[in-house]
Structure 1
């Protein structure tokens, strides 16, 4: 790396990631679509707001939001344990037009998939952390996670978005139900799984199913040797302990209910953040994925078979059952096949077969010397040029407090190939105005919408004080303001804004407000009362933003 390049990256706060991922060979080959410094331009679409510490969801002038569903709201359906309610800590969202299976693009009525990532025992089960957790408390927490399918509709007269309780489409997925088959090589070891949990971000397939990503599955049992601390202590009651091999996968769900849910082992097992797809020139389906933890890896999956647009949905989903899983080597600009038949180093490292590789994907990536990254979270494909944008949230262990967004270009524009180039598109920090980028979303003009994930323990403290509460930003990817962040929204106290998703006409943006008041020590000392105010406990909720 040249001295000037190294000084530049150090100034941006890239820390160890820069040293690992930007050697001279890769830097010299990086695409030049974003020369630095970039010229400044006017903010598009709206007048940016300032950082805030208020216990409110604040939006740019001219925009408003409707609260679509809030934790605990009755859904008008029944599950194995009685009436179902909307789960806790809503995260990833995906909107499906109600007429999607007929090729329609209805933007006023549809099905909204919602991930429910993890419980907060203080609010969900009343557990005080001081004693052995009871079975009733564990069951309450299991019912609060997983996912929801909501039937949502915009009122024709007032334009207000609401969910439709009791709809034939509305249903819950939890850590208790339903039982799902596991596909791919690892199904020989794990043929089925009970429910789903730790559902972070995800993606939407071209055949109108959702890919829900199981992330921090290691947090639920106590003393498992993986997570620090005691986790959620579900193993306090032995019959309620989870079988960890059943989790850490990507779950495919049909919101319309025609196809059974599946867990696809061919996409690997790790702390899955999201799944973004693209078709290769060969016609094969490519899925990009991040592993959200410090010093973990970026992955992609290339299907063995080609996508056929006229095939039945049940056939299309088989693309996710067989193919090649890769981990990224940023130093060489190579995709490393996590395939025991192609990579002798995997056998040498003690992997028995491909099922073993998929069950221990992180270990396999280390064995092939993939590049450790600074919490690779969301990956999204640019709608205009097909490049991949990857949010690297931060890595405080290496001095990277603010994170960055990397832009990756597949050589020859071939998503199915095995080589790539990359550049740093945006560096977090005071100079850019945002910190800790997490979920990403593109609009059809190619603008990048970014939500941030400063931890509840760090918000408005120390190096993070200038940024206020977690926010949402628009970042143009071309034109005079390319790479410049404009703040669109600010979340309530200790919340995180997650899961941004536009309707087909881009006149509504669905957004999840996750874990407001997360650092509350007791119900008598709440740090937030959003969204209901007064003395009410803080509640995660999904909102619909209009005004575009």
Structure 2
């Protein structure tokens, strides 16, 4: 492993770090302004791209709640977990942990035996530490950092001597999705597959060392994906990188210069043709790769998200695409000026180039010579990711979210069936499953009853299959290239930034992280005119969600397909979580006692363990503490019991997560540590993982401390 273990002697004192920006300093988002600028080009500073008056999820929620406020309330006693994050907790991070978690020795005894999903741990308290803090009895170590060698011949990372050529052989910046693909015949090895969503120039480059053109080229090479051979470490649950020389046949770096093949019904359409690619079937690179998922046939799907920010115009925009550009947030002024280095990012010169991004891409980690593909049948929008489950019929069903305020949930059902024989012919069949099928968008309706639950019904509205469009006035290619506009016409339900959408492998239910939508209203306290008494039901909110309360902390939506399974056109839904501080009246935790849960804000990536517990990572904690990863049972008496297992360093986002039950370990991608306004390379707000005087985004793994 190339990363030295973190030790106290290498940890920089917190007092030398740039102060945290106060919570809420960026009026349009809970994220720091720097994150908004570099990740999405300040999307929330512009009007929502969806201009329609299609129904909003908030209306469905409000109808579903009915007059529940008159029937139930919430009592919060002095023992409620409320977020009290102080600067003293940052200066003395161990004090709060000891108060909640007790001794590590006692925790180890409670954790002995069983899968991670069954482990009895005490939650990590909210904090602002510049560290990965894990539940007592666990530890963590870094597996891969930005700049670590991936391919043979890669130089040692040197922040003062970076080149684009070196970056193409090194681990990229801002890691997000984490997948672990088994290596056949080698049970102690696996292929670690990681997305590199975006770059943050302010924290990558020392002042006065690089030209603007050099910076842009290095950033382009630092986007994309990495495939890295890893092995189990000496301590059970730990993982280490296999040296690039010994992993030369497996390792891979995918970046903005990597050729991709366009597949599916829209491949070769005029809308995808450019000067460099008159065939409309070959694209260089992938951009802003956020979440992803593994397929049953062993490939990895990765979602291209905020691709719009990379494009801008040197002159006039093509008037043919005025409405289309606007719907995707594509403007004459971008946020990165990449057109100055690569003309294909100039909208005036290449008006079709942005149509070649915003897809789900598929990579085969087991075949490093294979050409990655962009799937047009899955639609084009700001994909958080795509997660595939096999229906009982054998068809592949992919669930997807369009991560924008006011956009939609989608589902794809394959025409073909999965072949599990393990032959070459079976693999050829399976690799075609996402190229033909039916694409749907979701519409939700509140049931209007007074049962004390945020719930209702829904339907999947078809948009297109591989043969034709179901949207009047739009061709098949137009539906797939301009999916947002096609969906607008069938009146689905606007959602609050639908991010990761994951099927539960144990129950078959589907969960969607609706991260937030602070633009709809402001967070506010409960109705103070309605006294809260101890005789009221502690697990239920005392006030219904309304446009006035907004959705600053996010929801987790639970979808139950009808009896026919994932092929069903109809479903029921409810809100498993209404996130926030348990002391806030509008919060809800699946019916669990609000005095016994961790505060949680802005759910983003989702994952499951073999028990069926949901694991939630957060992005942009609006409550003031660091982001983290939380375990949430979805069934039984502990349904909704949110427990924080891990928190990430100051200014970072928790990505992944990936639970490896047999190892009792959890992978997490620590994205943009120290991304806090005012910080620079020379004056960082974080130095995690404390191997240098500046932060390095990295993938780490948490495991039992033996």
Q: Classify 1:81/1:392 alpha carbon distance in 2 versus 1 (closer, same or farther; 3 Å).
A: same
Deviation at 1:503, TM superposition (A): 2.9
Which residue in the other structure is 1:152 paired with? 230
Aligned mate of 2:309, from 219, 222, 226 = 219
Aligned mate of 1:232, from 336, 343, 361 = 336
**What does 1:420-435 correspond to in 2, within 5 Å?**
420-431=571-582, 433-435=599-601
SS of equivalent residue, structure 1 residue 296: coil
Q: Classify 1:400/1:384 alpha carbon distance in 2 versus 1 (closer, same or farther; 3 Å).
A: same
Aligned mate of 1:98, from 180, 183, 186 = 183
Instruction: Name the stretch that deviates more: 394-403 or 215-224.
Output: 215-224
Q: Deviations over 1:385-409 (max 9, x none)?
A: 1000111000011121011101101
Deviation at 1:27, TM superposition (A): 7.7
User: Is contact 1:125–1:138 with CA below 8 Å preserved after alignment?
Assistant: no
User: Is contact 1:134–1:236 with CA below 8 Å preserved after alignment?
Assistant: no
User: Is contact 2:183–2:189 with CA below 8 Å preserved after alignment?
Assistant: yes
The CA distance in 2 between the partners of 1:506 and 1:156, in whole Å, is 12
SS of equivalent residue, structure 1 residue 266: helix
The CA distance in 1 between the partners of 2:207 and 2:431, in whole Å, is 40
Deviation at 1:531, TM superposition (A): 0.8
Gaps of 5+ in 1: 1-15, 29-34
The CA distance in 2 between the partners of 1:125 and 1:304, in whole Å, is 48
Deviation at 1:127, TM superposition (A): 8.2
SS of equivalent residue, structure 1 residue 77: coil
The CA distance in 1 between the partners of 2:604 and 2:437, in whole Å, is 28
User: Is contact 1:68–1:544 with CA below 8 Å preserved after alignment?
Assistant: yes
User: Is contact 2:224–2:286 with CA below 8 Å preserved after alignment?
Assistant: yes
The CA distance in 1 between the partners of 2:235 and 2:509, in whole Å, is 41
Q: Deviations over 1:84-136 (max 9, x none)?
A: 1110000001101222xx6x8x3x321010000001112335689xx9x8432
The CA distance in 2 between the partners of 1:78 and 1:182, in whole Å, is 30
User: Is contact 1:27–1:423 with CA below 8 Å preserved after alignment?
Assistant: no
Q: Classify 1:158/1:386 alpha carbon distance in 2 versus 1 (closer, same or farther; 3 Å).
A: closer
Q: Classify 1:53/1:540 alpha carbon distance in 2 versus 1 (closer, same or farther; 3 Å).
A: same
Aligned mate of 2:426, from 307, 312, 324 = 312
Instruction: Name the stretch that deviates more: 241-250 or 486-495.
Output: 241-250
Deviation at 1:334, TM superposition (A): 1.0
SS of equivalent residue, structure 1 residue 338: strand
Determine if the alignment matches structure 1 residue 370 to structure 2 residue 460: no
Determine if the alignment matches structure 1 residue 512 to structure 2 residue 698: no
SS of equivalent residue, structure 2 residue 486: helix
Q: Classify 1:36/1:81 alpha carbon distance in 2 versus 1 (closer, same or farther; 3 Å).
A: farther
Q: Deviations over 1:142-182 (max 9, x none)?
A: 110100001001234787421113212111000111x1111
Determine if the alignment matches structure 1 residue 71 to structure 2 residue 146: yes
Which residue in the other structure is 1:88 paired with? 173
Q: Deviations over 1:277-296 (max 9, x none)?
A: 12223321100001111011
The CA distance in 2 between the partners of 1:383 and 1:282, in whole Å, is 16
User: Is contact 1:387–1:409 with CA below 8 Å preserved after alignment?
Assistant: yes
Q: Classify 1:78/1:302 alpha carbon distance in 2 versus 1 (closer, same or farther; 3 Å).
A: farther
Determine if the alignment matches structure 1 residue 47 to structure 2 residue 122: yes
The CA distance in 2 between the partners of 1:157 and 1:376, in whole Å, is 38
The CA distance in 2 between the partners of 1:207 and 1:18, in whole Å, is 34
Q: Deviations over 1:193-220 (max 9, x none)?
A: 1111211000001111100111111111
Which residue in the other structure is 1:170 paired with? 251
Q: Classify 1:326/1:126 alpha carbon distance in 2 versus 1 (closer, same or farther; 3 Å).
A: farther
SS of equivalent residue, structure 1 residue 412: coil
Deviation at 1:61, TM superposition (A): 0.5
Deviation at 1:419, TM superposition (A): 0.9
Larger relative strand fraction:
1
The CA distance in 2 between the partners of 1:405 and 1:490, in whole Å, is 19
Q: Taking structure 2 as the reference length, what is the TM-score of the superposition?
A: 0.67
The CA distance in 2 between the partners of 1:110 and 1:369, in whole Å, is 44
Deviation at 1:343, TM superposition (A): 6.4
User: Is contact 2:469–2:476 with CA below 8 Å preserved after alignment?
Assistant: no
Instruction: Name the stretch that deviates more: 327-336 or 483-492.
Output: 327-336
Which residue in the other structure is 2:9 paired with? none
The CA distance in 2 between the partners of 1:81 and 1:409, in whole Å, is 48
Q: Classify 1:504/1:429 alpha carbon distance in 2 versus 1 (closer, same or farther; 3 Å).
A: closer
Deviation at 1:247, TM superposition (A): 1.1
Which residue in the other structure is 1:383 paired with? 505
Q: Deviations over 1:35-94 (max 9, x none)?
A: 9999x9x99521111100111110001111121110011224359935611100000011
Please identify runs of 4+ aligned residues in structure 1 that moved more than 4 A. 35-38, 125-128, 157-160, 340-344
Gaps of 5+ in 2: 1-54, 67-71, 81-109, 111-117, 155-163, 273-280, 314-324, 347-352, 446-456, 521-549, 583-588, 590-598
Deviation at 1:524, TM superposition (A): 3.1
Which residue in the other structure is 1:526 paired with? 684
Determine if the alignment matches structure 1 residue 464 to structure 2 residue 653: no
Q: Classify 1:509/1:442 alpha carbon distance in 2 versus 1 (closer, same or farther; 3 Å).
A: same
Deviation at 1:367, TM superposition (A): 1.0
Which residue in the other structure is 2:441 paired with? 327
Which residue in the other structure is 1:205 paired with? 295
Which residue in the other structure is 2:38 paired with? none
Q: Classify 1:159/1:395 alpha carbon distance in 2 versus 1 (closer, same or farther; 3 Å).
A: closer
Q: Classify 1:72/1:316 alpha carbon distance in 2 versus 1 (closer, same or farther; 3 Å).
A: same
Q: Number of residue pairs matched? A: 502
Q: Classify 1:279/1:367 alpha carbon distance in 2 versus 1 (closer, same or farther; 3 Å).
A: same
User: Is contact 1:194–1:246 with CA below 8 Å preserved after alignment?
Assistant: no
User: Is contact 1:273–1:291 with CA below 8 Å preserved after alignment?
Assistant: yes
User: Is contact 1:20–1:371 with CA below 8 Å preserved after alignment?
Assistant: no
The CA distance in 1 between the partners of 2:551 and 2:503, in whole Å, is 25
The CA distance in 1 between the partners of 2:236 and 2:614, in whole Å, is 30
The CA distance in 2 between the partners of 1:358 and 1:151, in whole Å, is 35
Q: Deviations over 1:325-364 (max 9, x none)?
A: 00001126111111287766x334xx2x111111111111
